[in-house]
Amino acid sequence: MRAAKAWGVVLVLALTWPFFLPGEAFALRDMMVLPDMALTRAALGFGDLPARNVPQDALLGVLPVPVLIVRVMVVAAAACAARAGWRAAETAWGRSAAMTVAVWNPFVVERLLQGQWSLAVAAWLMPWIAVAPAWGWRWLASLTPTGALAAVVSSRSLGTAVFSAALCLPWVVPGMLASGSGTASAASADVFAPRAEEAAGTLGTLAGLGGIWNGAAVPDSREAGFALFGIALVVVLAAGWRGVEARLLVLAALGVGIALASWGGALAWAVTELPGGGLLRDAHKWLILALPAFVRAAGALPPRAAPAALALALLQVPDAAVAVAALRPVDGVEVPAVDHRGRDVFFVDRPALVLRPDGAPAVDPAPKVMNVVEPGELVVDGVVVDEVSPRWRAAAENVGDAGALRGLGIGLVVYPDGRVVDTGAPARDLPPTGVALLVIWVALGLWGCTRRTPY
In a domain, 121, yes or no: yes
Q: 3-state class of 33 per DSSP? A: strand
Burial 395-412 (b: 16+ CB within 10 A, else e): beebbeebeebeebbbbb
What whole-number distance in Å separates Cα of residue 258 and Cα of residue 284? 8
CB 131 within 8 A of CB 160: no
Q: 3-state class of 380 per DSSP? A: strand
Q: How many CB atoms are located within 10 Å of the residue 432 CB?
A: 9
In a domain, 221, yes or no: yes
What whole-number distance in Å separates Cα of residue 392 and Cα of residue 377? 10
pLDDT of residue 96: 98
What whole-number distance in Å separates Cα of residue 379 and Cα of residue 164? 34
In a domain, 228, yes or no: yes
Element (H, E) at 361: strand 361-363
325 Cβ partners below 8 Å, 6+ apart?
18
Give the Cα-Cα-Cα angle 316, 114, 17 (nearest 5 degrees).
70
pLDDT of residue 190: 84
In a domain, 171, yes or no: yes
CB 44 within 8 A of CB 174: yes
What do you get for the CA distance between the two ends of the chain, in Å? 20
Domain that holds residue 148: 1-330+434-450
Q: Which amino acid, one-letter code, is at 358?
A: D
pLDDT of residue 4: 94
CB 52 within 8 A of CB 148: no
In a domain, 387, yes or no: no
Q: What's the domain count of the chain?
A: 1
What whole-number distance in Å separates Cα of residue 171 and Cα of residue 47? 12
In a domain, 46, yes or no: yes
What whole-number distance in Å separates Cα of residue 69 and Cα of residue 143? 13
pLDDT of residue 178: 83
The pLDDT profile of the chain, 455 residues, written as one tens digit per residue, is: 789 999 999 999 999 999 999 999 999 999 999 999 999 999 999 999 999 999 999 999 999 999 999 999 999 999 999 999 999 999 999 999 999 999 999 999 999 999 999 999 999 999 999 998 899 999 999 999 999 999 999 999 999 999 999 999 999 999 999 865 555 677 788 889 999 999 999 999 999 999 999 999 999 999 999 999 999 999 999 999 999 999 999 999 999 999 999 887 778 778 877 777 788 899 999 999 999 999 999 999 999 999 999 999 999 999 999 999 999 999 989 999 999 999 999 999 999 999 988 889 999 999 999 999 999 888 877 778 888 999 999 999 999 999 999 999 999 999 999 999 999 999 999 999 999 999 999 999 999 998 876 55
Nearest CA among 181, 185, 188 for reference residue 390:
181
165 Cβ partners below 8 Å, 6+ apart?
152
106 Cβ partners below 8 Å, 6+ apart?
208, 209, 210, 211, 219, 222, 227, 230, 316, 317
CB 146 within 8 A of CB 122: yes
Q: Cis bond leading into 22, ω under 30°?
A: no
Nearest CA among 244, 277, 42 for reference residue 149:
277
What whole-number distance in Å separates Cα of residue 5 and Cα of residue 444? 32
In a domain, 196, yes or no: yes
DSSP code per residue over 395-441: HHHTTT-HHHHHHTTEEEEE-TTS-EEE--PPPPPPPHHHHHHHHHH
What whole-number distance in Å separates Cα of residue 79 and Cα of residue 69? 15
Beta-bridge partners for 347? 414
Beta-bridge partners for 384? 379
In a domain, 38, yes or no: yes
